[in-house]
Amino acid sequence: MKSNALADIHGRSFITPRPWSEAEFDELLLKDSTFLISGENSFLLGMLTDYEAEILTLAVDPMKRRLGIAKKMLDEFEDRCLEKKINKIILEVAKDNNPALKLYESCNFEITGKRRDYYSSPEGIKIDAIIMTKSI
């Protein structure tokens, strides 16, 4: 999937935090540590280190939500981590993103911290990020 398609899906999926640009996706995709799991109108972008993985963003077109697509991509991400002997996954999610919080909790992610005022809404309202972790 090319960066313009990623930016399009991300733009339809997010208001807060702001959607990422095509240039931002281009920059991320150039890094060796970044990898992409993509499907029709959906993707998960992650980054691997020697000992842990981070989910940078997961986006599913709003018209395709609640069909198990995000869970399937999370499962594939976890499988890839295990193949690389990585046993910890971390992510950040906006405190007010209840559907995402429920998804991650249903996939056994645990809340391990908070970043105060990490995100900004389009109106300039600050929103905390919830840090979630899963040991695999």
Q: Strand, helix or coil at 80?
A: helix
Out of 22, 83, 92, 118, the active site residue is 92
Query: Taking a C-beta distance cutoff of 8 angstroms, is the pair 77, 44 a contact?
Result: yes
Clarify whether 105 is annotated catalytic. no
Out of 22, 27, 54, 104, the active site residue is 104
Closest to 62 measured CA to CA, from 92, 42, 76: 42
Clarify whether 24 is annotated catalytic. no
Give the C-alpha separation, 19 to 86, whole Å. 29
Cite the active site residues: 92, 104
